[in-house]
Structure 1
Amino acid sequence: MADVELRGTALARDAALLTETVREAGLLARSLFRTELKNWTKGASSPVSEADIAVNDLLEQRLRQATPDYGWLSEESADDQSRVGKRFAWIVDPIDGTRAYLAGREDWCVCAALVEDGSPVLAAVYAPASEEFFFAARGQGASLNDRRVEASPGDDLDFARMAGPKPLVQRLSPSPEEISLHPRIGSLALRLCRVAHGALDAAFAGGQSRDWDLAAANLIVQEANGRMTALSGDAILYNRRDVVHGMLVAAGRDRHARIVAHFRDRPLL
């Protein structure tokens, strides 16, 4: 019992730390939004700016200083594989949707999650431009601006509001016009969070997403009475050596089950 109480106290401390830090990071990102920023390309085509680095530095300093025994995985930090052996690890994306951010659009966010043994236990996603702050703690529900949210109920696919790669979404119906495809959302995490408060009925990731794109949104969807998994229905595990994931779907529980069954019967080639 004492161990459970201690863990509960530690999680409450971490939740407060996460909330405060992500809010501060979001305000920093917003202060640099629509200003002249140095930016460059990393890898084949991934944009990064000095704002990404500044926000990453703030997140890393605050979170790691307060929890030195936790692992750390960020899109903008060199990957220290010692994180894999840690029971707890922070997984963050300083600015998810950097292309949107640099283009002056509002569909970007700051996201961070605390994972325990590969599964998220705390999550925060903050979209400062639209003043939306999503938060979830495992077993305690999900909120948007401190108001509890839930994914849309039911399992209908016809005329459901969906977002994600068009060819993938259209495979759900023999009549593509019956699918209501939402305009592209620059941040994958924000796209998934739109399921958590019912703005979308389902959202897809087309493959090659990373832990930092997904971990926070995953818990938020889950705690909003939704599910987010691989198209096969397999759970997503985090803080492994390989942080790349395949095609994913997020939806309310009943609709998620129907979508997974649909792709099981009609597998992608």
Structure 2
Amino acid sequence: MAHLADDVAAIAAEASAYALGLWRTDFKRWEKAPGNPVCEVDLAVNNMLRERLSALLPDAGWLSEETADDAVRLNHRRVWVVDPIDGTRDYIRDRDGWAVSIALVDGEQPVIGVLDAPVRKEVWRAEAGKGATLNGRPITHSGRKTFTGSRTPTDTLPTVDVDLVAVAKPNSIALRIAMVAAGEADLLATIRWGHEWDVAAAVLIAREAGCEVTDALGRKLRFNTPRAEAFGVLAVAPAIQLAALARLHDRAVEALGKPR
């Protein structure tokens, strides 16, 4: 598995170098839906990753933000779950908060995860049962024990959360989860439906760094599901997990009950 993880990291590095070479150039960009940007680099990186990763594991299925979903992936025990550029909005706006995200899922759980953020010069890696690293150095969560004062990557804090501390937020949710894994933040929470490709690699990195990671209601996250979605994500230092879930609960229940 270690050799396979090295190969995945090398492919991620190739893809991120390609994307970096086109960053801040005059590439085509548009919206798939209002507020959901995409660019031609997303598609080119997606094609590169699919070719390289499929050659690496021909028996693995495929799930990616930039590929039309095919239910045949559900017949595969192992599936690549990929976001070619997580944080496209930052990529388009010449900001550094984007990364190539690759996860290998085996039996509904990620077993290899790589995030390659070339502008930030950050490479995050994890293998199931072997810990997580940032640029080759082992990482772990902050160890925070008090919920009040916890750092969370966000632009603004709602009034109900003014006892928390906002820290710089990359557009990539994968990088925000990775910040918790490295102790650069204490918690990351979302309370909306999200796609598996956004978080699969980062979830493994956070788990292997000792974080507690669940959906917004505290349930275990699973991958390669029929809808390829989960209701929110909470990545948190273990000692403050219960307080974080209690803080989120009413908002999560309300959001879950709203029409999608």
**In 1, Cα distance between the equivalents of 2:224 and 2:237?**
25
Q: Which residue of 2 aligns with 1:130?
A: 120
1:102 matches 2:92 = yes
CA deviations on 1:200-254 (whole Å, 9 max, x unpaired) are 1111123132011010000000000101111221011110111122222111111
**In 2, Cα distance between the equivalents of 1:220 and 1:204?**
16
Residue 128 of structure 1: how far off its partner (Å) = 0.4
1:227 matches 2:212 = yes
1:186 matches 2:176 = no
Match for residue 75 of structure 1 among 60, 65, 86: 65
Q: Which residue of 1 aligns with 2:26?
A: 36
**In 2, Cα distance between the equivalents of 1:39 and 1:262?**
38
Q: TM-score, normalised by structure 2?
A: 0.92
**In 2, Cα distance between the equivalents of 1:87 and 1:268?**
32
Q: Which residue of 2 aligns with 1:152?
A: 142
What amino acid is aligned across from residue 19 of structure 1 in structure 2? A
Contact persistence 2:80–2:102 (CA under 8 A):
yes
1:260 matches 2:250 = no
**In 1, Cα distance between the equivalents of 2:58 and 2:233?**
32
Correspondences of 1:181-260 after superposition (within 5 Å): 181-260=166-245
Q: TM-score, normalised by structure 1?
A: 0.89
Residue 154 of structure 1: how far off its partner (Å) = 2.8
* Residue aligned with 1:232, SS: coil
Contact persistence 1:155–1:256 (CA under 8 A):
no
Distance 1:170 1:197, change over 3 A: farther
* Residue aligned with 2:84, SS: strand
What amino acid is aligned across from residue 243 of structure 1 in structure 2? A
Match for residue 90 of structure 1 among 58, 77, 80: 80
Distance 1:180 1:65, change over 3 A: same
Q: Which residue of 2 aligns with 1:121?
A: 111
Contact persistence 1:17–1:63 (CA under 8 A):
no
What amino acid is aligned across from residue 204 of structure 1 in structure 2? A
**In 1, Cα distance between the equivalents of 2:48 and 2:192?**
29
Residue 121 of structure 1: how far off its partner (Å) = 0.4
* Residue aligned with 1:129, SS: coil
CA deviations on 1:27-47 (whole Å, 9 max, x unpaired) are 111001111111111134311
Distance 1:261 1:31, change over 3 A: same
Residue 165 of structure 1: how far off its partner (Å) = 7.6
**In 2, Cα distance between the equivalents of 1:105 and 1:206?**
25
Moved over 6 A (4+): none
Residue 267 of structure 1: how far off its partner (Å) = 6.3
Task: Report percent identity of matched pairs.
Answer: 35
Contact persistence 2:103–2:111 (CA under 8 A):
yes
Match for residue 9 of structure 2 among 19, 38, 43: 19
Give the total of aligned pairs.
Answer: 254
* Greater CA drift, 218-227 or 156-165: 156-165
Contact persistence 1:96–1:108 (CA under 8 A):
yes
